[in-house]
């Protein structure tokens, strides 16, 4: 999957500036920006503030907070000058995204305290599209960005929003700016960057709907894989993520993770859940490694980290893995990660009440270490 997130930022900014330039002769301070409390001038400046803040955090690899600086406008800056600032800050974010390695992350407060270059691109585009809409609404201008820009935002940082028939109107609905037939109005919202769980030698990187769509279609999902990857099980899991997203039931923290080796930033396998925990707090895990990465303990290391992360949550009480009796390496992975073979009674209950394949063995992990 070729990375074109920088080009998307550039396209979003160009569309914003082109539209607002048609009304540069008007008093933006006298007009409220759509449903916002800000006037159109303050909203336009906010676009620039966000673009430069995202560029700074990604370029500076900020870890715990925003890079401590702010931009200001020179006294007497007119609307045309403000548009130049938006163009410039957009160019800076575009350049930062284009030159930042895929594995680099920078601080963003929610929900998991960081974002990668795709996340910052999607956040920047969201700020541009949505606030251009707000300003256009205030000034009485017609505005509709390219559908692929709204789709990129939705599939990257709105993984829990079920796709609608129209990407742009779905994004407006998801951010409290419009209505969709059959859906209740949105009064509170927040986008969501992907979860990353570190281990000693790996990072488990949450797969977005955008990446899942590419993986399930035969692409690389935006990752650089070792020879032979990704394994077919990872593609199948990506398809499960995509189906859950399209059905509006995807919970990304209980989706698919790609295992990326820290020493060389290469993806070596996939791991994740078959779905969110049920009402009893039970969730099923699955995993695979590319053949060339096997025998080095990567799967056990990753499964232990993912299991400890999930069991620390209040909504998870029990983790299970179903494994073929002849798959001794997979059984070893589960055992080394703290799983134990279920009792005969537990396996029988799983077959009768949960339709577990009777040819498989059940492994469980309950304790919080």
Count other Cβ atoms within 10 Å, centred on residue 109: 12
Domains of the chain as residue ranges with CATH: 5-174 (1.20.120.450), 196-365 (3.40.630.30)
pLDDT of residue 368: 59
The pLDDT of 41-70, averaged and rounded, is 97
Which residue's entry shows tokens 């080796």?
Answer: 261
The pLDDT of 329-333, averaged and rounded, is 96
Q: What is the per-residue pLDDT across 108-133, written as a single tens digit (0 to 9) for each?
A: 998 999 999 999 999 999 999 999 99
pLDDT of residue 265: 96
Give the ranges where the chain is alpha helix by DSSP (H).
Answer: 5-21, 40-59, 79-99, 117-139, 147-157, 167-174, 209-216, 232-247, 298-311, 328-336, 344-354
Is 298's pLDDT higher than 70? yes
The pLDDT of 339-348, averaged and rounded, is 95
How many Å is the Cα radius of gyration of the chain?
Answer: 23
pLDDT of residue 110: 86
Alpha carbon distances (Å) from 207 to 129, 179, 251, 258: 24, 28, 11, 7
Q: Which residues contact 353 (CB under 8 A, 6 or more apart)?
A: none
How remote is the C-alpha of 107 from its chain's centroid? Answer: 14
pLDDT of residue 153: 98
Q: What is the per-residue pLDDT across 140-195, written as a single tens digit (0 to 9) for each?
A: 999 999 999 999 999 999 999 999 999 999 999 999 999 999 999 999 999 999 99
Q: What is the per-residue pLDDT across 258-290, written as a single tens digit (0 to 9) for each?
A: 999 999 999 999 999 999 999 999 999 999 999
Q: What is the per-residue pLDDT across 84-108, written as a single tens digit (0 to 9) for each?
A: 999 999 999 999 999 999 999 999 9
- Record the pTM: 0.95
Q: How far apart are CA 59 and CA 118, in angstroms?
A: 13
């Amino acid at each position: 999957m070729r990375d074109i997130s920088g080009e998307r930022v550039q396209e979003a900014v160009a569309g914003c500036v082109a539209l607002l330039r048609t009304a540069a002769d008007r008093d933006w301070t006298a007009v409220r920006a759509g449903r916002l409390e800000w006037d159109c001038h303050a909203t336009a400046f906010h676009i620039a503030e966000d673009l430069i803040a995202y560029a700074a955090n990604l370029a500076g690899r900020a870890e715990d907070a925003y890079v401590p600086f702010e931009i200001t406008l020179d006294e007497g800056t007119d609307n045309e000058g403000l548009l130049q600032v938006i163009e410039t800050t957009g160019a800076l974010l575009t350049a930062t995204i284009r030159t930042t390695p895929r594995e680099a992350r920078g601080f963003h407060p929610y929900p998991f305290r960081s974002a990668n270059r795709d996340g910052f691109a999607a956040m920047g585009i969201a700020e541009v599209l949505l606030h251009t809409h707000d300003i256009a609404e205030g000034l009485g201008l017609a505005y509709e960005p390219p559908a692929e820009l709204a789709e990129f935002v939705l599939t990257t940082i709105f993984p829990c929003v079920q796709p609608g028939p129209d990407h742009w109107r779905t994004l407006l609905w998801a951010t409290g700016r419009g209505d969709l037939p059959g859906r209740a109005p949105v009064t509170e919202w927040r986008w969501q960057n992907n979860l990353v769980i570190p281990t000693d030698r790996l990072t488990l990187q949450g797969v977005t709907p955008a990446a899942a769509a590419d993986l399930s279609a035969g692409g690389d999902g935006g990752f650089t894989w070792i020879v032979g990857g990704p394994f077919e099980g990872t593609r199948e899991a990506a398809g499960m993520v995509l189906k859950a997203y399209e059905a509006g039931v995807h919970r990304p923290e209980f989706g698919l993770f790609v295992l990326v080796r820290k020493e060389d930033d290469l993806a070596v396998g996939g791991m994740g859940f078959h779905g969110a925990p049920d009402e009893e707090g039970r969730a099923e895990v699955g995993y695979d490694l590319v053949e060339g990465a096997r025998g080095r303990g990567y799967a056990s290391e990753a499964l232990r980290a993912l299991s400890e992360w999930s069991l620390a949550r209040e909504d998870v009480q029990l983790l299970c893995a179903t494994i073929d009796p002849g798959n001794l390496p997979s059984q070893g992975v589960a055992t080394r990660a703290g799983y134990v073979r279920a009792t005969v009674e537990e396996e029988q209950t799983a077959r009768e009440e949960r339709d577990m394949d009777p040819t498989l063995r059940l492994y469980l992990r309950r304790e919080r270490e």
